[in-house]
Amino acid sequence: MLSAAPLCGFLNLLKPPGCSSAAAVGYVRRLLGGVKAGHAGTLDPEAAGVLPVMVGKAARLFDDLQDKEKAYVAEVAFGVATDTQDAQGRAIAVGDRYPDAQALAQALRAFEGEQWQTPPSYSAVKQDGKRLYQLARAGVEAQAQPRRVVAHELRLMRMTGDHGALLSVRCSKGFYVRTLCHDLGRALGCPAHLRFLLRTQSGPFTLETALPLEEVARRAREGRLRLIPPETALSRLPCVQAPAALAFAARTGQTMPWRAFAPLLPPEAAQGAPFFLRLDGELLGVAVRMGDGVRLRTWLGA
């Protein structure tokens, strides 16, 4: 178990295939004695890889994590399209005009950059308060609305057996790699689906430092499990010490004068960019400029 209290930080979890994101978070929650925990971005049950888990008050930083870039290694399989756009679905189209590496690499270029993408019917997107996959399983026809997403980089790594190809994908939040595979099939005239997915990065969390569930459990039993502090996980945010004269105002959530912080922060903070605020070695939370003042936007203190 962790000895520090209250808990506030992150775990970089290596989610195995066949386990839902909710189940992985539930496992962590039980290990930590029922403390509040949540994941920063769903990973499909059959997918594997990086799943950031927010523990305690760190869950309040969800929006700061969600906007960050994601990276995947994906295998697209040509010849069959499915209703879920992955290997777990029912076949809805077949074809044998399998593309070669040159054609696939060229097609990928058309999907780079900002674009409209329609999430799959079997997804966690909500419609009228229900998840689309819940509606689909109940036999209710539902169509997600197209959304703006960004594919920062799409690269063909190599062709694989059984008419497949391994892709490297760097993208924005909300981007469905399953849908990319499905749309690639349509663009190339050969139905396709996602065969395999590994998330290698989610914002500041990478595959190299992700912990398998078994390792998390072992460290918890041995009392060696340590959370990643918010300042480490979100190191892009500057961190400043509140002046001693403003200690009472900082601890009670009052507005503090911007002029006391301006010399300590980068220029973007003057435009409203968030920053961490500390006091006497304690992390109080995330603050932002509001007019001529500064207020804590997200409270993380004890």
Cβ neighbourhood burial of 115 (10 Å; 0-12, 13-18, 19+): middle
Mean pLDDT to the nearest integer, 98-119: 95
**Gap between the Cα atoms of 168 and 72, Å rounded:** 6
Model pLDDT for residues 190-239, shown as the tens digit of each residue: 999 999 999 999 988 999 999 999 999 999 999 899 999 999 989 889 99
Q: 183 catalytic, yes or no?
A: no
Identify which of 228, 83, 56 has the alpha carbon closest to the alpha carbon of residue 141. Answer: 83
Band the pLDDT of 118: cuts 50, 70, 90: confident
**pLDDT for 160 beyond 70:** yes
Task: State which amino acid sits at residue 246.
Answer: L
**pLDDT for 141 beyond 80:** no
SS3 content of the chain, % helix, strand, coil (to 5): 25, 35, 35
Comparing 4-8, 204-208, 236-240, 283-287, which segment has the lowest mean pLDDT? Answer: 4-8
Angle, to 10 degrees, between the axis of helix 177-188 and the axis of helix 101-109?
A: 120
Identify which of 292, 291, 290, 256 has the alpha carbon closest to the alpha carbon of residue 277. Answer: 256
**pLDDT for 6 beyond 90:** no
Comparing 65-74, 111-120, 233-242, 280-289, which segment has the lowest mean pLDDT? Answer: 65-74
**pLDDT for 52 beyond 50:** yes
Q: What is the pTM of this model?
A: 0.87
Percent of the chain's residues with pLDDT above 70 = 90
Say whether 274 sits in a helix, a strand or coil.
Answer: coil
Task: State which amino acid sits at residue 167.
Answer: L
